[in-house]
Amino acid sequence: MVQVLVRDNNVDQALKALKKKMQREGVFREMKLRRNFEKPSEKKAREQAEAVRRARKLERKRLEREGF
């Protein structure tokens, strides 16, 4: 459960913090995905593409860290 404290009646700052937490947890992304039905074959293809993207990103970061 996401919880944000409002300090000094500053609702704008609390709302900004809430949005940031929700973004980090992937709530907005999940809401977007659930808006329409996704066929199982489309879901599988999307998840595989995401896995490839993650692997490439990790490899790039690893190479960058090692100085290549």
Which pLDDT tens digit goes with each residue over 16-46?
Answer: 999 999 999 999 999 999 999 999 999 999 9
Check residue 67 and give its pLDDT: 85
Domain count, the chain: 2
Q: Which domain holds residue 51?
A: 38-68
Q: Name the amino acid, one letter, at 35.
A: R
Judge if 64 and 43 occupy the same domain: yes
Say which residue the tokens 């913090």 belong to.
17
Whole-model pTM: value is 0.62
- Give the dihedral sign, CA 18/23/29/32: positive
Query: Do residue 29 and residue 54 come from a single domain?
Result: no
Tokens representing 22?
């929700």
Residue 45 shares a structural domain with residue 58: yes
Say if CB 54 and CB 62 are below 8 A apart.
no
The verdict on 27 and 1 lying in the same domain is yes
For tokens 């790039």, the residue is 60
Integer-rounded Cα Rg, in Å, for the chain is 18
